[in-house]
Structure 1
Amino acid sequence: MAMEKARDVLVIGGSRYFGKRLIARLLAAGDRVTVLNRGSSAPPAGVVHLTADRDDEDALRAALGPRTFDVVVDQVCYTPRQAVIARRVFTGRTRRYVMTSTVEAYEHEDSPTLVSETAVDPLAVVVDLELPWGDPEFLDTHYGEGKRQAEAVFAAAGPEFPYTAVRVAHVLGGADDFTGRLAHYADRIRTGEPIAVPATNHPATYIHVDEIADFLFWTAGQDFTGPVNAASHDPLTTADLCAALAAHLPSGRTAFRTVEVGETSPFSFARSYGMDNSRAEKLGFAFGDARRWLPRAVAETLGKDN
């Protein structure tokens, strides 16, 4: 729903996938949108474009100048170092800070029931700024930890920095899905090559690319703070994903190979850490059912000719 009064919104990063969909929703609502990135990708028409390396605090301040914002949506905060800079730069400059976090915040959980936000309290997370956060390989293997510690930095600021961390479920859908994870399964179904899964392969929570864009747009207009889970209803298994893919790949077959130790396929999980979305629903957002949108998501990602 469009706001009655246009807002000044800054989106950090977010020029592709669900970030670009969020920007489109903000513009359609009449908001004044500024996009800040390193200049490696062009933002859509209709926005103010600022260029800076968010890891460089002086450059970030110079790019922003005296600008203030009603809302900042940070799509690319991956480390506590980045969060420290953002907290210093944006305290007093925005009325609301929305960080996109991840389901991987729960990477140490293994729960028979869906996991609520209280399972990971940012105020209880230890922040270590001395870890090699600038090393891409380290960051890649510590993605969940980087997000947890970034959340912790924002949470420690208290009321002077009103933030929310949107813990995003695994995202599916869209012809512009760049992750290659569904393609991994599709290739194996086409060739009959076995798909490696753990001995006990748990379901997981997912969200459609358009639904997470809707949720971020909605969140930008709310005033709640702290972590919030964003996931569609009804967790999906690897078999569910493969069945939806097989419907578009009639010449293939699905075979699974159980792996006791070693690397498994994406979207196969040895632990159970699907997310409970009840907090967001009680706040007023209605999620869809993953089983209903999954066929469409697969068709979008693979293309109609596959």
Structure 2
Amino acid sequence: MQKILVIGGSRYFGKLLVQRLQAAGHQVTVINRGSVPPPAGVEHLVVDRNDEAALTAVLGRRTFDVVVDQVCYTPVQAAIAARVFAGRTRRYVMTSTIEVYDPATAALPAVPAGTPVPEENADPATWLVATDLPWHDDAYLEAHYAEGKRQAEAVLARADGFAFASVRSAHVLGGGTQEFTGRLAHYVERITGGEEVAVHPKALPTVFIHYEELAELLLWAAGADFTGPLNACSDGPLDVHDLTAIIAAQVGREAVHRTVPAGGEVSPFSFDRHYAMSNARAKELGFVFSHTADWLPGAVAEALTTEPSPTA
């Protein structure tokens, strides 16, 4: 049994992670702003993680074996965490994102065409940090989501008070109405309704992970001892045509594509840049991934019950 703190953990795979940590026999504490209570038996601390004094006060003398941070989006939040949890935990695991590799938002080392991107392509130890940018502004943060995650990783990677690991998640799908981004539902609705799906002239592949698999990987990462970034994606990259073919087969309709000129608005998961990660490091460390094609039809079936979402 370990004492594990989850920051966030109120929805989607974070909520599932809390349940699985508890089921595995760990002593679990959750910190969030109180909108959703955790399961019975889980300690709940209600505080805004952006308020360093309040966070320090609510923690009191508590210490943890592991902290799993589900909601760290900026270097400012990371810096607060680095100060508050130095000496309070031996291990800090941050949930990060595939978007740290997005070449549209950063100058990153080139990889050969068709090669899945390894962790070292975005090395947090060398990333520049600017805490004086307007990270408190919601519009700025939304527009700079990838950079916020990169800089948050950089701050925590340089912290001295604990061992640090980041889990860079692929695009998360599954869970029906729990999948709050509505991106899979977008495709299901358009293909079911015979509407066009807007795609790039040459769409390149990306990677996905089921929300249950991501929760399982975070559970595993909490108990592991690796440090540094770790890519988390199911086997089997898909481009937007592969994705729509699987969805079309599941709903019993043909997918209709509309090719959009360069710079035009396309549907989610249509990329004109290489956007697939390598999961080799996680496999070498012992995690076993599923294949996207094995779980995606079930995720589509769940999305058929999802409320209509805005199209992109």
Same fold per superposition (TM over 0.5): yes
SS at match of 1:129: coil
Partners of 1:15 and 1:44 within 8 A in 2: no
Matched, 1:35 2:30: yes
Matches within 5 A, 1:263-278: 263-278=265-280
Aligned equivalent of 2:43: 48
- Aligned ranges for residues 2-21 of structure 1 at < 5 Å? 6-21=1-16
The aligned runs of 1:181-196 (5 Å cut-off) are: 181-196=183-198
Corresponding residue number in structure 2 for 1:213: 215
> Following TM superposition, by how much is the alpha carbon of 1:91 offset from its aligned partner in structure 2, in angstroms?
0.7
Tell me the TM-score normalised to structure 1 length: 0.94
Contact 2:204 2:274 in 1 (8 A): yes
Q: How far, CA to CA, are the matches of 2:288 and 2:84 in structure 1?
A: 34
Q: Distance in 1 between matches of 2:194 and 2:213?
A: 32
RMSD, matched Cα: 1.6
For residues 14 and 133 of structure 1, the distance between their equivalents in structure 2, rounded to whole angstroms, comes to 22
Q: Which runs of 5+ in 1 are unaligned?
A: 1-5
Q: Give the ranges of 4+ consecutive aligned residues of structure 1 lying more than 6 Å apart after TM superposition.
A: none
Q: Map 1:252-291 onto structure 2 (within 5 A).
A: 252-259=253-260, 260-291=262-293
1:173 counterpart letter in structure 2:
G
- 1:167 maps to a residue whose letter is R
What's the offset of the Cα at 1:171? 0.6
- Larger mean Cα displacement after TM superposition, 164-173 or 286-295: 286-295
Question: In 1, are the aligned partners of 2:205 and 2:239 still within 8 Å (CA)?
Answer: yes
Using the TM superposition, give the Cα deviation of residue 244 of structure 1 relative to its aligned residue in structure 2, in angstroms: 2.5
Read off the aligned partner of 2:163 and give its amino acid letter.
P
CA contact (8 A) 1:81 1:150 kept: yes
2:168 corresponds in structure 1 to 167
One-letter identity of the residue aligned with 1:70: D
For residue 64 of structure 2, give the secondary structure of its aligned residue in structure 1.
coil
Distance 1:244 1:179 in 2: 20
Q: How do 1:228-267 and structure 2 match up within 5 A?
A: 228-250=230-252, 252-259=253-260, 260-267=262-269
Partner of 2:70: 75
Range with greater deviation from structure 2 (75-84 or 111-120): 111-120
> Distance in 1 between the 2:276 and 2:12 partners?
22
Is 1:91 the counterpart of 2:94 in the alignment? no
What is the aligned-residue identity percentage? 58
1:236, 1:291 within 8 Å by CA — same for their partners in 2? Answer: no
1:299 maps to which residue?
301
Residue number in structure 2 paired with 1:103: 98
1:253 deviation in Å?
Answer: 3.2
- Paired residue type of 2:56: R
Alignment-derived partner of residue 3 in structure 1: none
Are 1:137 and 2:139 counterparts? yes
Deviation at 1:152, TM superposition (A): 0.3
Match for 2:20 among 16, 25, 28? 25
Q: Partners of 1:183 and 1:29 in 2: how far apart?
A: 32
Provide the residue aligned with 1:148 in structure 2: 150
- Could you report, residue by residue, the CA deviation over 1:83-128 in whole angstroms, capped at 9, with x for unpaired residues? 0000000011001100000000101156420000000111111101
Q: How far is the alpha carbon of 1:188 from its aligned partner?
A: 1.5
Q: Which one-letter code corresponds to 1:265 in the other structure?
A: S
SS for the counterpart of 2:209 is: strand
2:236 and 2:164 map into 1 onto residues whose CA distance is: 28
What is the identity, as a one-letter code, of the residue corresponding to 2:192? Answer: R
